[in-house]
Structure 1
Amino acid sequence: IIYLSPFPYYSFSGEKITISYNQESRFAKVTDTEGDEISSVIFFWFAWQAFYPDTFLWRKK
């Protein structure tokens, strides 16, 4: 089963991206408007927070 982002696309730094998630493989993929995959990295927030404690966390309003 593949879940697409709840919106047709997200805008990040002025670029439109789409996020899809495959529940079976537990893998997410980010693509641009042409369908080309954008490199992404999986990391754990607590590790990042330990190294960069002043990082601003974005939350949807």
Structure 2
Amino acid sequence: MHAIIKRKWLNRYKIFDYKHTYRLIFEYIETFYNTVRIHNHCGYLSPNQYEKEYTKTAKEQEAS
């Protein structure tokens, strides 16, 4: 994960100090890594996609 942050995220910005770096890393993790990036434990879906599929399946099971 560290190489991805450096290659795809931090290299886009001029970093000013530790707080700025912290905010950039937090933003990367919360807006991309934890929501959009595919994860193998989610069946190679992103967490957002997995949640949508789960909700859809749960609603279909309630209806039947």
Q: TM-score range by the shorter chain?
A: under 0.3
TM-score, length-normalised on structure 1? 0.25
Larger % of strand: which? 1
Structure number with larger C-alpha Rg:
2
